[in-house]
Each structure stands twice: as C-alpha cells, then as structure tokens.
C-alpha cells in the first residue's frame, strides 16, 4: 500500500469517527513500525491515533505452531510478538481495565486496517516527570502496586476478548526465551569485532542458559506487559492507587514469569534505578504478596534479568549494526552493568564462565 493510500485510510477512519476536522500532530517514532498522532478535535478532549499497518511485519505466532514452524515463520512467531496488531492491544487493554488498572479507552477501532482511537493519557511519562524533578520513589512504588494487582489476579485467560476481537495470550516459553537470548550471539559479533563465536560456543551458550530458560517457562503464571519501564508508564496522579499508572505499548503481552516486568522496570535499559530504590520496590512487592517465596522468586529474577539484558544487548547491537541507529550505543554500558551484577549470582556461574571465555572484559564495560 502506498503512503497516499495509507493516508486516505486514516482520513476515512477519522471522518467516520467524527474527527475529520481534528488537528493532527505526529509524535516522535520509536524502534517499532507503529506511529501515533495526537488529535485535537474542535470540541472535547484530545485523543491519540494509533496506526499500525497489519502487513508491516511478519505474522504473529499461531498457537498451534511447533518451534520449527515458528522459526520458519519469522521473528514475531519465535518471540511470540503480536506484530503490532491492533486487536492485540485492544484485548490486552480490556483485560487490564477489568482489573481496575489504567489502560486507554478505545472509542473507535478498525482492526482490519490497523487503526485505533485511544484515550490520551498525556505526556507525563515516568521518565519525563522524574527528569523534571519529581521524586521517583512514589512513581516506582505505584508501578509495583500495579504489578501486584496484575499478579494477584492469578493466571490470565488463554484467550482475551476485546473490541477488535479475540486474541490468544501465549506463553513466553522456551523457544521465545532462548530465541531472545540468542540475539546476543547473533548480533554482538557483528557490532564488535572483539567478540567471536563459533558453532561450539553457541551450543555452550544454549546449554548454560538452559536451566534459566526452563525455570522461566515453568514459572509463566501471570500476564506480563513485557515492556514495562519508565518510558511506557504515564503518571496519572488524579487517579487512585495503582490506577495512577497509565500503561501503554502492551500489545506484546504474554503469560510469563512474574519477575519479568519487575526487572524490566527496576533494571531499566534507558535510565538508572538506584540499588536502594530497587530494593525498596522489591520489599513493597513482597509485602503486597506475602505468599510468594522470596528466595525462589529472586533466584528467577536474577536469571531472567540476565537473560533479558543479553537479549537487549543483542537488540541494541542489531539496531546499531544493521539499522544504522547509533543512539542505542549510549544504553550499552548500563546493560553491561546490570548483566555483570546478575552474573555474580551462584546459579548463573555457567553463564558467567561462558562470558569469561568468549567476551573480553573490555567489551563488558
């Protein structure tokens, strides 16, 4: 579809929603294939236009596919990503709202063409509010409280229902977890010539991660936002309790280990979270969920955080080396710090030994 044809779809969608005269202001893009515009109607509150062409990415994962079929279908199927589908966003939003959490209302939707009107939560991303001088602690503790609500709800349904239709909530399983970790060995050598891995090293890599992958898949028991961090949470202080945390960008939600969103938030790729704040946030979580085995949880937390950090380093390497986006290089030192800290845990000794053999210390700084 041409650019002009896509624009005509937008115009027709806005006209059908009574917003043909709204002033449109595009928002800056990110690493995805989505685009957003803020709409200012002649009357009433501002809204967001979410635009995700369904054909812009490879197909999402069919729940019936084997690991081999998923690898043949492409990365979205391997990682169990939604391919940005509007119906996925709408179904996850409906589930979050059913729990009293803050996901945007969706007053109009055209799932077939990948267009939706969303409630505008404003520009107060956690990261921006903190940059402007707000105390970060209440925001992070509110984000933890929202996760506790999500986790206390128990196992989510296998199929979510939303205004765009049903959407399967898939498990972040062994194939997805190992596929994410493998981004590291796929892409870091292409970015940094000091790192070289052969087939034997890759086999050892997978063996080292196997217990962590198995534990992460076995512990997949709650809905995970999957991209839960300060750039995807919007502060809504006029609301109460956990509803003060406005959630966006959750279309890739899966059934996952409850630690997944925790370490995404507290070991963030884009901003520093102090060890003291991380400890306070974890204390709040366990106080809200006293039935959780803290020792076992924290062992999984460290292992899956390390895996996620290896995954993100691989993604950033790909964005820099393949996609020509050098700005992601600034985040690598922080990810190495997180990874190095987690590799000190005894359960991660096999992974740490792999890094010692194959990744020079100067690369991991």
Torsion of CA 145, 150, 151, 153, to 10 degrees: 120
Please write the tens of the pLDDT for every residue from 131-145.
Answer: 999 999 999 999 999
How far CA 116 is from CA of 50, 53, 99, 113, in Å, comes to 5, 11, 22, 9
* 271-275 long-range Cβ contacts below 8 angstroms, 24+ apart: 271/127, 271/130, 271/230, 272/334, 273/140
**Which pTM was predicted?**
0.94
Mean pLDDT of 47-53: 94
Mean pLDDT of 301-328: 97
Report pLDDT for 56: 67
Please write the tens of the pLDDT for every residue from 64-117.
Answer: 999 999 999 999 999 999 998 999 999 999 999 999 999 999 999 999 999 999
Report pLDDT for 59: 87
Mean pLDDT of 182-189: 98
State how far Cα 116 lies from the chain centre. 20
Residue from 35, 280, 244, 240 nearest 126 by CA: 244
Phi, psi of 35 (to 5 degrees): -140, 150
Please write the tens of the pLDDT for every residue from 205-234.
Answer: 999 999 999 999 999 999 999 999 999 999
């Amino acid at each position: 579809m041409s650019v002009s044809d896509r624009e005509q779809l937008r115009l027709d969608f806005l006209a059908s929603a009574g917003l043909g005269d709204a002033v449109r202001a595009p928002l800056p893009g990110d690493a995805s294939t989505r685009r957003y515009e803020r709409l200012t109607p002649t009357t009433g509150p501002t809204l967001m236009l979410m635009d995700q062409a369904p054909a812009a990415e490879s197909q999402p994962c069919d729940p019936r596919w084997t690991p081999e079929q998923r690898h043949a279908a492409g990365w979205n199927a391997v990682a169990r990503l939604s391919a940005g589908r509007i119906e996925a966003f709408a179904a996850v939003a409906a589930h979050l709202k059913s729990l009293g959490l803050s996901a945007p209302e969706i007053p109009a939707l055209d799932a077939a063409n990948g267009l939706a009107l969303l409630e505008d939560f404003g520009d107060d991303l956690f990261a921006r509010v903190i940059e402007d001088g707000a105390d970060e602690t209440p925001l992070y503790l509110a984000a933890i409280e929202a996760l506790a609500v999500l986790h206390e709800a128990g196992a989510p349904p296998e199929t979510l229902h939303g205004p765009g239709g049903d959407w399967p909530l898939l498990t972040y399983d062994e194939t997805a977890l190992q596929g994410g970790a493998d981004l590291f060995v796929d892409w870091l050598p292409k970015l940094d010539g000091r790192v070289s891995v052969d087939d034997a090293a890759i086999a050892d890599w997978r063996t080292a991660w196997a217990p962590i992958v198995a534990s992460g898949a076995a512990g997949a028991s709650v809905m995970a936002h999957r991209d839960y961090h300060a750039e995807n949470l919007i502060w809504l202080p006029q609301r109460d309790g956990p509803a003060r945390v406005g959630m966006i960008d959750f279309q890739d939600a899966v059934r996952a280990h409850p630690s997944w969103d925790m370490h995404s938030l507290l070991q963030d790729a884009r901003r520093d979270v102090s060890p003291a704040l991380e400890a306070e946030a974890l204390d709040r979580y366990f106080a809200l969920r006293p039935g959780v085995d803290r020792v076992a949880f924290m062992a999984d937390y460290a292992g899956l955080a390390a895996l996620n950090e290896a995954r993100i380093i691989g993604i950033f390497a790909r964005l820099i080396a393949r996609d020509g986006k050098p700005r992601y290089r600034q985040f690598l030192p922080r990810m190495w710090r997180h990874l190095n800290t987690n590799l000190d845990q005894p359960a991660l000794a096999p992974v740490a030994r792999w890094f010692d053999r194959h990744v020079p210390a100067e690369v991991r700084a």
